[in-house]
Amino acid sequence: MQYKFIIALLLVALSSCSSLNFLSNDSDEDLVTPAELLAFANQYPINVAWKKSFKGSNDLGSFKPSFYSGQMIVADSSGDIISFDPKTGSVNWQKALERNLAAGVAAGFGRLVVSDVDGFVISLDLESQEILWEQNIGGEVLANAVVDAALVVVKNSVGELVALDAVSGEQKWIFRSQLPALTVRGTGQPIIENGVVFSTFDNGRLGAFQLNTGFFLWDGPISFVAGSSELENLLDADSSPVVVNQLIFAVNYQGNLTAFDTAQKRPVWNAKASSFHSPVVGKGLIMVLQDDGSILSFSAANLQPSWTSEEYLRRELSNGTLFKDVMLTGDLEGYVHAINPLTGKTVGRKKVSSKPIKSIVTFGDLAYIVDQDSNVAAISL
């Protein structure tokens, strides 16, 4: 029997507590209370350009916007799809699907793709917003699809990577991974690089597949099972891998940050890490925002450790993203933090929401913050 944790944060709390020294004099409150925000030198003032409110929940951070043809396109869990001017927030058009969606919208090649809680992948024409096709793939899609010229690639909650014909919705190929007995609810978006689909899976592995045929090329472990209980052996990889030259980096929960050599088709380096977010690459560094709120960094040149930060312990950080000269991340109290990627020091901060921030994406001169209630705030530096 497969079990799904609906609230991943429970697992985060458990894992954070298990890594602490219970023989110390710290109180139980210290083990769960978010770290207090420290004073900092405000070198990068954060300004809010516009805000928009949406319906529905975004507890998993699955509802990320897409940018296409000069539009910012957002979907929410109530089934609304809205197109904005990304600079001003003014609405271009709105489409109500009248069904409960499970993840955000993907856009490309004149098409929009969303998925609902019943496992239907739905393709719409970008110009007319009319439904072109819908196809049930047997499980919720908890991350944005990837839209290619010929195929739409999605990963569902039962561990299947599925490619659908972009024109008809017909299933072209499928890969079924082996699910562990216990997994965290969530899934990472696959990526396409040079005709190859790379995807992480709940069993803590990275797989590579030929895009056109689904032919299995190779796979490898991000980390190995090392615990004595099912909870200790949760190794879910719930984020997208990141390509850096010949290397592809992937991170999993209670596991590793691992570098795979795409020529050798195997892992070549790893470091202990635990995260639900993709590594952040830039400024010559690879950074991991861990599930306990600490941040690790490594040199992209030689993979040696650089700086570490525990300033945001237990603050339930969102993903990180590079914007201008800083790394942005959000927290459980609605703050956006700007961090110098070379030093790990905080150089800017602003409260932009009353709800936890779940994801941050960038486009042009603005960064876009999405909170737990699917509200969007556009910010500039």
The pLDDT tens digits of the residues spanning 341-361 come to 999 999 999 999 999 999 999
Give the H/E segment covering residue 346.
Answer: strand 346-351
* Cβ 52 vs Cβ 31: under 8 Å: no
> Which strand (E) or helix (H) includes residue 266?
strand 266-273
Res. 14: pLDDT tops 90: no
CA distance from start to end of the chain: 49
- Answer yes or no: is pLDDT of 100 > 90: yes
For residue 76, give the nearest of 53, 110, 93 by alpha carbon. Answer: 53
Identify the weakest region by mean pLDDT among 19-33, 57-71, 170-184: 19-33
240 vs 153: CA distance, rounded Å: 13
In this prediction, residue 145 has a pLDDT band, given cuts at 50, 70 and 90, of: very high
Given a cut of 80, whether residue 4 has pLDDT beyond it is no
Task: Decide if 342 contacts 287 (C-beta within 8 A).
Answer: no
- Does the 33-62+280-381 domain belong in CATH 3.90.25.10? no
In the three-class reduction of DSSP (H, G, I as helix; E, B as strand; rest coil), residue 170 is classed as coil
Dump pLDDT digits (tens) for 109-118.
999 999 999 9
Confidence of residue 1 (pLDDT cuts 50, 70, 90): very low
Q: Which residue bears the tokens 């490619």? A: 163
Instruction: Please list, in sequence order, all residues whose beta carbon lies within 8 angstroms of the beta carbon of residue 260, skipping any fewer than 6 positions away.
Output: 206, 220, 247, 248, 249, 250, 266, 267, 268
What's the confidence (pLDDT) of residue 10?
40
In whole angstroms, give the CA distance from residue 126 to residue 111.
5
Q: Is the pLDDT of residue 78 over 80?
A: yes
Average pLDDT score over residue span 269-289: 96
- Res. 73: pLDDT tops 80: yes
Question: What's the confidence (pLDDT) of residue 182?
Answer: 56
Q: What is the pTM of this model?
A: 0.89
Q: What residues have CB less than 8 Å from 264, skipping those under 6 apart? A: none
Mean pLDDT of all residues in 221-235: 68
Rama region for 282: left / alpha / beta (φ>0; ψ in -120 to 50; rest): left
* 3-state secondary structure at position 9: helix
